[in-house]
A and B are shown apart, each in its own frame.
Chain A
Amino acid sequence: MVRKGCSKAVFCALAATALAACSGGEGGATRTVSADPFCQQVIPAVEAYMAASRASHPAPTDPRYGGTLVVGSIGELADGMNAAVSSDYSATQHQQFVNLMTLLDYDAAGNPRPYLAESWEIADDNRSVTFRLRRDVFWHDGEQTDARDVAFTYVTVTNPATAFPNAAFWDHYVKGAEGVEVIDDFTVRISMEPHAEFLDPFRTVAILPEHLLGDVPPGDLKQHPFGTQCPVGNGPFVFWSHTPQDRWVFEANPAFPEGLGGRPFVDRYMYRIIPEQTTLLTELLTQNIDVYLAPRPDQAQRILDDPNVELLRYPFRNYVLVGWNARRPQLTDARVRRAITMGTNRQSIVDAILQGYGTVADGSVPPFHWAYDPDAPGLAYDPEGAKALLEEAGWTDRDGDGVRENADGVPLAFSIKYNTGNQQRQDVAEIMQAQLADVGIAVQPQVVEWATLLQQINTPELRDFDGVVMGWVVEFKLDDMDLFHSDRIDQPYAWSGTRNPEIDRLLEQLALIVDRDEARARWAEYQEALIEEQPYTFFYFPDRLDGVSTRVKGVVMDARGEWLNIREWYIDPASR
């Protein structure tokens, strides 16, 4: 059977290769270049500059240089390297650390450090920041990266017509051309009102090439081939090819500034898209990929058991929550929402569905963050306390059916929605159903298709849910305004619809405090206010897991990202 299939397959492949008719290469590697006129113009320029750079930078003799690194993950890099329009996590990571550069990045403690900007100065009144750029950074087609690129990027992402997704970054900045001043070729000043963590956007948003994109109308940027067909960056890796839903390939940039470590150790870096996690695990264990990003917790043991791979584990930026719709009569009273949280044994859920790879959450500040306080108050599992609180709020089992009712006879029953195909969220809803039955609350888990669910919960006129299991990924610059501030109650993410003046006041203050030590105390107060109000039952902060082959050395991963020091990863010469 097997052999038959095999020989037939060879025949088919012959036909296939004839069909595909790839561009023929003359020795060395072959690649297919997009036929788009923009790509046809820029790719030869990149190739010429790279050939010249290779000639002027002699091949390094250190044995750590060389080899191909393969990272496997379930998802595409949506919108690719187009930093002006993308909101995809992995795509943003590639913009920051692989193909493009940001003005600054963070050290392990979360403090800004120079990257494309070699230094910066913050005005005494905190109303502007002046960046001085490195003079040795070049776009991969040979143009120098300068202040005009920064100004162009700033004007583009603050322009409403671009529809840059994370517009809240610029809430306290002076938007558009008025907000940015090119002082000389390598100095640029950006104006703002004083506010918290104002440098953070410059860690996230990569600088784009003005000489290539300057003439593109902002509304057309999203569809520009720059993003996914022929990006031209200035970072440690040069774009080589992209096969949609299959792979992205990058080459080491020989001209990457020596001051930033010079060219990366690996010759080539490949990002492979493998949507099925069982296949990803197999590919890691059979050494076809070097890194498996974010394996499921139940796959962790297989990785730990294999001597050729290791499991990295670190606190990450996401949390899972159950959002309550306080517009519903059963859920209007904060005491009921508190009782729900107290009646749920969240630690047991972390142990059961995350196999212990996570931390119970009591607020929105994740453990990696400088504002996280491990000793901050939380709501402990206390079913008796929950029952007492429900009695106090007027919910008693009046007819002996095991479910509490209020004075009007309305039963304390509601549904919790989750999206199809997400086992963890299904488990959360079902375990809550079992545990809350013990305190007299009837929960009905309900599964809804993802896009439909988003519409049901995010459309202000609909809000068609009681409870919903969701997750958020937070930025280093924490900002809960859209979630809990009562001014935003008509905006998509005001799921709970609660109004709490204390929370409003704290959120407004937190948005403006520049000093971290001062902010830390406020964040603790904010967490206390959230515990009282319980717009969400905060569930857990899952630990990020990554499977990494032992042949790859020098890997550092933490909440800043998986790719943060990819230019320093190298492949053990003995196993290349």
Chain B
Amino acid sequence: MGKYVLRRLAGAIPLVLGIATIIFFLVNLAPGDPTLLLISPGVTSDVIEQMRVNFGLDQPIHIRYVRWLGAMLTGDFGYSFVYSRPVVDLLMDALPNTLILSACALVVAFGVGIVLGTIQAVRQYSLLDSSLSVVLLFFYSMPSFWLALMLILTMSLYARNVWDLPIWFPASGMTSTDHDFMSAGARMADRARHLVLPTLSLSLVLTAGIARYMRGSMLEVVRQDFVRTAHAKGLPERVVVFKHALRNALIPIITLVGLYLPYLFSGTVFIEYVFAWPGMGRTIVDAINARDYPVIMAGTFFFASMVVVANLVADVLYAVVDPRIRYE
């Protein structure tokens, strides 16, 4: 197994470098110019030329590529054109914020989704199964952007100003205005309150999908012989479902974990915009709009690495849950 992981990692290096190279040329050859975005009338062409020199954009593209590659291999991703800060600092500021949000969303989505899917499979064709299906389909077909706005409308604006509810949730940001003055415990609670609406908007849509997968996977398993055997030897329903069926039904779900793991890092742009969450998605999309080449490059390089790693993690997890799978 250890050898297998090492081999996979070694194979990933040319893959990631190749992706980075392609993105470098795509980004640098795309129409648009970062200096044009920073200037206004009154700016002479000398100033534009000086900005290009300061940014290193005056060099031909192959020289820029070699320089970028050399710097990157030593861990230097350069400075953001827009924020004038080291790119690594910029991304490292945004990364934890995205991780918190998407980890919460994934935990909620997989937790709730697996439970609901299992319930539906066990009680197939019951009223509970059908009504859950309708509700889940409702959320599944909803764009999370719109869901987010509806949540803000109901659980923030109306809850506070119209219905006068005792509980309402803040519509934006990660912390309250007086966060700096709170005690450690209050700060944690404050962060949790700010997480509620974005987590819900992200996870509701995911939950629905995961529950559908789980229901299907579970239904397949409960029809198999070993489950029938378990029933036949008189094991209680609880043990049959949770010990025998569930473990086997979870294997396909792991594929989903592998698919969603990169999403942990990339963040979800729309949700980050709506809730003013200072995460990776916003950073990268803003960088693309501003043609902030160093940030785009570092960000995409990071994502490419994450996709490779997440796929590897999913493959390793297969072996962990399914003793039949062995890697040499």
Residues of chain A having any CB pair with chain B under 8 Å: 1-2, 4-6, 8-17, 19-20, 28-31, 68, 70, 76, 78-79, 82, 85, 87, 160-169, 219, 222-225, 227-229, 241, 243-247, 249, 270, 272-276, 278-280, 282-283, 285-286, 288, 449-452, 454-456, 458, 472-473, 475, 479-480, 482-483, 491-493
Select from chain B the residue with minimum beta-carbon distance to A12. B104
Contact A452 B32 (CB under 8 A): yes
Task: Check B23 for interface membership: any CB of A closer than 8 A.
Answer: no
Task: Check B37 for interface membership: any CB of A closer than 8 A.
Answer: yes
Task: Check B153 for interface membership: any CB of A closer than 8 A.
Answer: yes
Select from chain A the residue with minimum beta-carbon distance to B82. A78
Which segment, of B9-17, B41-49, B315-323, faces chain A?
B41-49
Q: How far is the CB of B82 from chain A (nearest CB, A)?
A: 6
Known contacts A6-B196, A13-B195, A223-B79: A491-B38 contact under CB 8 Å: no
Q: How far is the CB of B297 from chain A (nearest CB, A)?
A: 16
Select from chain B the residue with minimum beta-carbon distance to A286. B160
Interfacial chain A residues near B276, Cβ < 8 Å:
246, 272-276, 279
Contact B100 A12 (CB under 8 A): yes
Interfacial chain A residues near B38, Cβ < 8 Å:
87, 165
Select from chain B the residue with minimum beta-carbon distance to A14. B188
Task: Check B111 for interface membership: any CB of A closer than 8 A.
Answer: yes
Which residue of B43, B104, B278 is within 8 Å of A244 (Cβ)? Answer: B278
**B230-251 contact mask (Cβ, 8 Å, vs A): 1 or 0:** 0000000000000000000000
Contact B273 A451 (CB under 8 A): no
Q: State in angstroms the CA–CA spacing of A162 and B50 once bound together.
A: 8
Interfacial chain B residues near A1, Cβ < 8 Å:
200, 204
Interfacial chain A residues near B51, Cβ < 8 Å:
163
For chain B, what secondary structure do more than half of its interface residues adopt (helix, strand, loop), or is it mixed? helix
Contact B83 A12 (CB under 8 A): no
Task: Check B143 for interface membership: any CB of A closer than 8 A.
Answer: no
Task: Check B310 for interface membership: any CB of A closer than 8 A.
Answer: no
Interfacial chain B residues near A10, Cβ < 8 Å:
189, 192
Q: How far is the CB of B118 from chain A (nearest CB, A)?
A: 15
Q: Interface residue tally of chain B, by bracket?
A: 35 or more
Q: How far is the CB of B209 from chain A (nearest CB, A)?
A: 16
Interfacial chain A residues near B50, Cβ < 8 Å:
160-163, 219
- A-B interface, 4 closest residue pairs, ranked by CB to CB distance from nearest: A451-B32, A168-B42, A12-B104, A13-B192
Give 21 pairs: A residue, B residue, CB < 8 Å, sorted on A.
A5-B108, A9-B104, A13-B191, A15-B100, A16-B100, A78-B82, A222-B84, A223-B79, A276-B172, A279-B274, A283-B170, A283-B171, A286-B160, A286-B161, A455-B32, A458-B36, A472-B41, A475-B42, A480-B41, A483-B41, A493-B41
Q: State in angstroms the CA–CA spacing of A164 and B50 once bound together.
A: 10
Which residue of A9, A11, A28, A244 is within 8 Å of B196 (Cβ)? Answer: A9
Interfacial chain A residues near B34, Cβ < 8 Å:
451
Q: How far is the CB of A342 from chain B (nearest CB, A)?
A: 27
Known contacts A8-B199, A274-B172, A274-B276: A166-B43 contact under CB 8 Å: yes
Which residue of A82, A245, A280 is within 8 Å of B94 (Cβ)? Answer: A245
Q: How far is the CB of A78 from chain B (nearest CB, A)?
A: 6
Q: State in angstroms the CA–CA spacing of A437 and B243 once bound together.
A: 72
Contact A279 B171 (CB under 8 A): yes
Interfacial chain B residues near A456, Cβ < 8 Å:
31
Contact B152 A282 (CB under 8 A): yes
Q: State in angstroms the CA–CA spacing of A137 and B153 once bound together.
A: 47
Select from chain B the residue with minimum beta-carbon distance to A244. B93
Interfacial chain B residues near A288, Cβ < 8 Å:
170-172, 177
Contact B83 A282 (CB under 8 A): no
Known contacts A5-B196, A451-B33, A492-B36: A68-B278 contact under CB 8 Å: no
Task: Check B283 for interface membership: any CB of A closer than 8 A.
Answer: yes
Contact A17 B191 (CB under 8 A): yes
Interfacial chain A residues near B53, Cβ < 8 Å:
219
Q: How far is the CB of A222 from chain B (nearest CB, A)?
A: 5
Known: A17-B187, A273-B278. 17 other contacts (CB 8 A): A5-B200, A8-B108, A12-B192, A13-B192, A17-B191, A19-B100, A87-B38, A163-B50, A228-B85, A272-B172, A272-B276, A273-B276, A279-B171, A279-B274, A288-B172, A483-B41, A492-B43
**B268-294 contact mask (Cβ, 8 Å, vs A): 1 or 0:** 000001111010001100100111000
Select from chain A the residue with minimum beta-carbon distance to B160. A286
Q: How far is the CB of B214 from chain A (nearest CB, A)?
A: 16
Interfacial chain B residues near A480, Cβ < 8 Å:
41
Task: Check B313 for interface membership: any CB of A closer than 8 A.
Answer: no
Q: How far is the CB of A422 from chain B (nearest CB, A)?
A: 12
Interfacial chain B residues near A244, Cβ < 8 Å:
83, 85, 90, 93-94, 278
Interfacial chain A residues near B157, Cβ < 8 Å:
282, 285-286
Q: How far is the CB of A12 from chain B (nearest CB, A)?
A: 4
Task: Check B107 for interface membership: any CB of A closer than 8 A.
Answer: yes
Known contacts A228-B83, A270-B177, A491-B44: A282-B156 contact under CB 8 Å: yes
**B101-141 contact mask (Cβ, 8 Å, vs A): 1 or 0:** 00110011001100000000000000000000000000000
Which residue of B54, B94, B177 is within 8 Å of A219 (Cβ)? Answer: B54
Q: State in angstroms the CA–CA spacing of A451 and B30 once bound together.
A: 10
Interfacial chain A residues near B44, Cβ < 8 Å:
167-168, 491
Contact B46 A167 (CB under 8 A): yes
Interfacial chain A residues near B254, Cβ < 8 Å:
none
Task: Check B217 for interface membership: any CB of A closer than 8 A.
Answer: no
